Amino acid sequence: MLEAYDVGPASEVPTSPLHGGTVNATYRHVLINGTAGPLHFYQFNAEHARSDANAEVRGSSNVRMYSFKSEGNACVLWVRDSSNVTLFGSGGNAAALPLNASYSQGYIQEAPPSLYRVERSTGVRLLLLTDQGRVQGGSPSDFPGEGFDPRDWAMVAWSGQSTRL
């Protein structure tokens, strides 16, 4: 796990694939917590965590991600209590759980299933989000996860007085 706390000015962090199996609901491959930035990530790839989120920006500001790859059915990025966060492009074969699905016991139940989750945050920009729209195949134990009809799941869940630019 990579954790970035109180990162100094103009930090640039390259990320490489971080592969993990089932860990627990609160595990994050990447946790950015309490930094004022600026903090920049290039070719961001934090997938397969099988937790509430693969990566999280929490209580931070001035974070930029340039290209984000994802697989699986879990939330790939959770932004909460943050400001001025921008994701410039994402892709991969991730497919969120259907909106009528429930998370496993021990995982957050309040948020609807989605690939990206934004809570109580301002100035968040999520640009050029794409998916492959897999509708069949896979299983929960496969790294890419299960395929679900894209009409049944959400790319982004906004909640808690969040504003987008």
The domain ranges of the chain are: 2-159
With CA atoms as reference, report the closest residue to 35 among 62, 1, 60, 65: 60
Provide the 8-state DSSP code for 103: P
Q: Is the peptide bond before 17 cis (omega within 30 degrees of 0)?
A: no
Q: What is the pTM for the complete model shown?
A: 0.80
Q: What is the average per-residue pLDDT within 83-107?
A: 83
In angstroms, rounded to a whole number, what is the distance separating the alpha carbons of residues 118 and 75? 11
Strand partners, 55: 30, 77
Tokens of 128: 């050029």
Which tens digits make up the pLDDT trace of 99-147? 888 777 766 667 778 889 999 999 999 999 887 766 666 666 666 677 7
Mean pLDDT of the chain: 78
Provide the 8-state DSSP code for 18: B
What percentage of the chain's residues is helix, strand, coil (to nearest 5)? 0, 45, 55
Q: How confident is the model at residue 8 (pLDDT cuts 50, 70, 90)?
A: very low
